[in-house]
Amino acid sequence: MTFENTKAFAQQLDSQDKLHNYRSEFIFPKVNNKEVVYFTGNSLGLQPKRTKAYVDEVMDDWANLAVEGHFYAEKPWWDYHERFAAPLSKIVGALPSEVTVMNTLTVNLHLLMVSFYQPTATRFKIICEEKAFPSDQYMFQSQVDFHGYAPEDAIVEIKRREGEHNIRLEDVLAKIEEVGDELALVLIGGVNYYTGQVFDMKTITAVGHKAGAKVGWDLAHAAGNIKLELHDWDVDFAAWCSYKYMNSGPGNASGVFVHEKHHNANLPRFAGWWGHNKERRFKMEPKFDAVHGADGWQISNLPVLSLAPYLASVDMFAEIGMDALIEKRNKITSYLEFILQEIDKEVDSSFEIITPSNPSERASQLSVLLHGEGRSLFDYLMENGVIVDWREPNVIRLAPVPLYCSFEDMYNFGQILKQGILK
Ligand SMILES: *Cc1c(COP(=O)(O)O)cnc(C)c1O
């Protein structure tokens, strides 16, 4: 499709967009009395209007039923998490028994490492990507340290080649083969938080298994953003947060995937009463008997007030389906790329989009290296109602989230960007 950098063309794309009505289901902050162009749904998604009703329901049940709400609320609290299994499993390509919701992301990755990182004297290395999200780096360091290994021996990073912004698949596979018999675990961000690069999880998982390692994925930037087939890809485990593309609110609960093949495997785990046999949970028995499936990794009773917004979001995603979302995502991301290139030509600047240009290696994010521009451009955008984020040295990350961003937003952004540069 040939795009045009005009308001009329952008509006025409909006009129053809099947998801366009979902935009009015979200609450946009305002700057200068106008709704913002929101590019940071990869950091904190906007609030859906329907979310409040889900939270109010829990508040009302608590007011009216108090402790009885555990069993007699319309959505009883004691098994509230089970309402996620069907819709969430579709979003991440899993069986319902393979997903659950609990805790927060880094906490869950730690808990999953208890089960899936069991180093031995000869097989103790972890492969991750260079410059992984800091929380993941701290997690790896503290985990290997806990097991008595030195991070510099046990953590192997896959590097970018000199002068390149993204990691090559062939380099990931070569590193896995090189570490070989010493490799205990591969754990990478499925979508890189900085560049937006999407990894070929299917191939990497298969090659990791061939080397005899477990393979897990941090899906913080992937859940609700890309098509996942965790079960079919034979992924051992994964976890994601819900407040980025999944719009569940600040710091909210995390989702977890544990492949069916591990459900009976008697893996080590840190247990708690919410992972204990469902029928006998309240018999207060002394010996732990894990629930079959990912729910067996539950520990504490549920933060129902947090899960309510997440459930609102999961219900919305289930209604739409990932395929429709991805179709719009590809189009709006390409349109944003086109707008950036057009503005770049008009102002003779030198942006460099460091996100892969191949649509199969990217999703909802374009990271732009602003060679000639500084922090003042970022400030100008923010003051003029374009919410982007800034990462050192001078990269702005733009996520044209398909659920609530419009093509007209992309056009408007281009105009504000141009004014900001020419100013
Ligand atoms: C956002 C993000 C996190 C955040 O972890 P929390 O435990 O939810 O604070 C972790 N890893 C990656 C890759 C992220 O992008």
**Ligand 1 within 6 A of 136 CB?**
yes
**Ligand 1 within 6 A of 129 CB?**
no
Q: How far is the CA of 51 from the centre of ligand 1 (A)?
A: 22
**Ligand 1 within 6 A of 238 CB?**
no
Counted residue by residue, the chain has a size of 423
| 112 in Cβ contact with 236 (< 8 Å) | no
* Residues whose CB is less than 8 angstroms from the CB of residue 158 and which lie 6 or more positions away in sequence, other chains included: 127, 128, 129, 130, 167, 171, 172, 175, 188
Q: Dig out the tokens for 14 from the structure.
A: 């909006």
**Ligand 1 within 6 A of 204 CB?**
no
Closest ligand 1 atom to Cα of 43: 1
Domain ranges of the chain: 7-35+322-422, 53-320
**Ligand 1 within 6 A of 373 CB?**
no
Closest ligand 1 atom to Cα of 254: 8
Cβ–Cβ contacts within 10 Å for residue 199, how many?
A: 22
**Ligand 1 within 6 A of 193 CB?**
yes
Q: State residue 265's pLDDT score.
A: 87
**Ligand 1 within 6 A of 218 CB?**
yes
Handedness of CA 145, 150, 151, 154 (dihedral sign): negative
Question: Residue 323 and residue 358: Cα distance in Å, rounded?
Answer: 18
**Ligand 1 within 6 A of 106 CB?**
yes
**Ligand 1 within 6 A of 221 CB?**
yes
What are the pLDDT digits (tens) for 60-107?
999 999 999 999 999 999 999 999 999 999 999 999 999 999 999 999
Q: Does domain 53-320 have CATH number 3.40.47.10?
A: no
Q: State residue 391's pLDDT score.
A: 86
Closest ligand 1 atom to Cα of 251: 8
Closest ligand 1 atom to Cα of 221: 15
Report the phi/psi class of residue 212: left, alpha or beta, with left for phi > 0 and alpha for psi in -120 to 50: left
Q: Dig out the tokens for 127 from the structure.
A: 């492969």
Q: Which residues of the chain carry a pLDDT beneath 70?
A: none
28 closest CA partner among 385, 332, 415, 307 = 385
Q: How far is the CA of 311 from the centre of ligand 1 (A)?
A: 20
| 224 in Cβ contact with 245 (< 8 Å) | yes
Q: State residue 165's pLDDT score.
A: 96
What are the pLDDT digits (tens) for 331-379?
999 999 999 999 999 988 778 999 999 999 999 999 999 887 778 899 9
**Ligand 1 within 6 A of 108 CB?**
no
| 241 in Cβ contact with 213 (< 8 Å) | no
Residue 118 exposed, middle or buried by CB count within 10 Å (0-12, 13-18, 19+): middle
**Ligand 1 within 6 A of 105 CB?**
yes
Q: Which of 40, 42, 104, 105 to mutate to test the pocket of ligand 1 (most atoms within 8 A of CB)?
A: 105
Q: State residue 31's pLDDT score.
A: 96
List, in sequence order, the alpha helices (H) in 66-149: 69-72, 85-92, 105-116, 134-146
**Ligand 1 within 6 A of 104 CB?**
yes
Q: State residue 371's pLDDT score.
A: 82
Closest ligand 1 atom to Cα of 244: 1
Q: State residue 284's pLDDT score.
A: 87
CA 55: distance to chain centroid?
Answer: 23
| 206 in Cβ contact with 231 (< 8 Å) | no
383 closest CA partner among 27, 34, 26 = 34
Question: Residue 382 and residue 57: Cα distance in Å, rounded?
Answer: 36
Place of tokens 């990791």: 208
Nearest residue (CA) to ligand 1, atom 14: 220
| 205 in Cβ contact with 234 (< 8 Å) | yes
Total-model pTM: 0.97
Q: Quick check: bond before 393 cis, omega within 30?
A: yes
Q: Angle at Cα 40 formed by Cα 37 and Cα 41, nearest 5°?
A: 100
94 closest CA partner among 298, 242, 236 = 236
Q: How far is the CA of 123 from the centre of ligand 1 (A)?
A: 27
Closest ligand 1 atom to Cα of 105: 7
| 21 in Cβ contact with 316 (< 8 Å) | no
What are the pLDDT digits (tens) for 291-300?
999 999 999 9
The 3-state DSSP class for residue 43 equals coil
What CATH architecture applies to the domain 7-35+322-422?
Alpha-Beta Complex (3.90)
Question: Residue 358 and residue 378: Cα distance in Å, rounded?
Answer: 26
274 closest CA partner among 250, 249, 252, 256 = 256
Q: State residue 282's pLDDT score.
A: 87
* Residues whose CB is less than 8 angstroms from the CB of residue 38 and which lie 6 or more positions away in sequence, other chains included: 28, 29, 46, 387, 401, 404, 405, 409
The 3-state DSSP class for residue 107 equals helix
* Residues whose CB is less than 8 angstroms from the CB of residue 211 and which lie 6 or more positions away in sequence, other chains included: 176, 177, 179, 180, 181, 183
Which residues share a beta bridge with 27? 47
Place of tokens 């003779």: 348
Q: Which of 241, 242, 391, 397 to mutate to test the pocket of ligand 1 (most atoms within 8 A of CB)?
A: 241
101 closest CA partner among 403, 325, 312 = 312
Q: How far is the CA of 129 from the centre of ligand 1 (A)?
A: 15
Q: Which of 44, 109, 133 to mutate to test the pocket of ligand 1 (most atoms within 8 A of CB)?
A: 133
Nearest residue (CA) to ligand 1, atom 2: 220
